[in-house]
Copies of this chain bind each other. A is one copy, B any other.
Amino acid sequence: MKKNQSFIKKENQNLILELIQNYDLITRPKLARLADMSPTTVSRIVSFLIEEGLIKETNQYTTGVGRKATYLALNPDSLMSIGVELDERHVRYGIFDFLGKAIVTEETGKELGEAPESLVMKLNEVITRLIQENQIDKNKITGVCVGLPGLVNHKDGNVIKSAQLVWENVPLLRILEEQLEFPVLIDNELNLRAYAERLFIKNKTSHSMVVIGFGSGVGSALMIGDQIYRGKLNSAGEIGHTIVDPNGILCTCGNFGCLQTCIAESFLVQEASKKSNVQSLHEISSAAEKGHKWAMNILNRAITYAAITVNSCVCMNNPDRVILTGKMIEQFPHIRDRILQESRNKIWAPLSDSTSIEISQLGEQGVVLGASMYSQREYINHLSIEKELV
């Protein structure tokens, strides 16, 4: 409840770091101007960040005048962190530096419904190997952050339910902490992706941003400024169980016509199996391209509901950006383009000019990148609080 001194310190420090990141090279006076802070405050924060090795000074000639000025830049090698994404059948890994540049990424297969203990064991092996192979200094690693689909309590570290992983009430954080030698965080994958989307867009004046994922499930995440809006149980944005057709088919949750029944891959495959022996969205898409009516109908309906979903998020949250992501967007350009077009057609007219609907530029790296950068931010936040110097 209380906003105290260390809250401000943290916020101001994050603002300074964000400005240095945005400008690549920036002087102290310009920082003070952009952040609307006193030169003294900026100097104090900058000294602390230099001391911690997070940023560095470089002397460069300013254009024209021929006078040297001292610029500040992030120190790319000062921090590293590990992002992990758990999916139905894959695990993605990424080690990123302080600039968000990938040092190494990797993808491994996993079994459907694999037990958490065995999965975490493999995860530890891969991480250990990646660190060795890339000769990474362990002391620079801020931690590991794991993103996964479903209801994840990021505070107590329990996975309440993940349909895709076939997990219920799994104390994932504890299992990870037992096996990994780094600080660990867990979170919903879309929250982490949204964090990355916000961090790496060029124009950060964005008021609020909704990231919508159309893939094996369907979900969304809301960023308000640079904060993830989590809701009471970290489950804000669980649009998969909004009811879009009260006369629709039965959902796993027991309601009729939840959004996911019209749009998530497993449900599309289930519908399609009545007509053909298909196993994936790829096969449905191929069948549609070959002119099979059932496949075209399934995709048409999914595209309509995707556009309806975009409009619902816009009406509900009134963001200035909507970013679309997920398998359906990343792997199927035809579907993606039709979703974009139909979304722009369906968006409520009074909000259409002030809302830009975009495709994620981060693609399949989005979650591991977001996880990684989130680990770094948590590390830096604790740093400033522990030392109470800034």
Which residues of A are at the interface with B, using a C-beta cutoff of 8 A?
1-5, 7-8, 11-12, 15, 35-37, 151, 160-161, 207-208, 220, 224-225, 229-246, 253-255, 304-305, 308, 311-313, 315-320, 346, 348-351, 354-355
Complex contacts, A304 vs chain B, CB 8 Å:
246
**Contact assessment for B350 and A161 in the assembled complex, using a CB-CB cutoff below 8 Å:** yes
Asked if residues A348 and B255 are in contact (CB atoms below 8 Å), the reply is yes
Report the minimal beta-carbon distance from A104 to chain B, rounded to whole angstroms.
34
Give 27 CB contacts A-B under 8 Å: A1-B36, A2-B11, A3-B8, A4-B8, A5-B8, A7-B8, A151-B350, A208-B231, A208-B232, A231-B317, A233-B350, A235-B315, A235-B318, A235-B350, A236-B316, A236-B317, A236-B318, A237-B318, A243-B311, A245-B245, A246-B304, A253-B349, A254-B349, A255-B348, A312-B312, A313-B316, A316-B316
Residue numbers in B under 8 Å from A313 (CB-CB): 316
Given A8-B3, A230-B318, residue A241 in contact with residue B311 (CB < 8 A): yes
Contact of A207 among B231, B238, B243, B311 (CB under 8 A): B231
| Inter-chain contacts of A238 with B (CB < 8 A) | 315-316, 318, 348, 351
In the bound complex, what is the Cα–Cα distance between A86 and B243 (angstroms)?
Answer: 32
Kindly provide the distance from the CB of A349 to the nearest chain B CB, expressed in whole angstroms.
Answer: 6
Which chain B residues border A245 with CB–CB below 8 Å?
245
A5 to chain B, nearest CB (A): 8
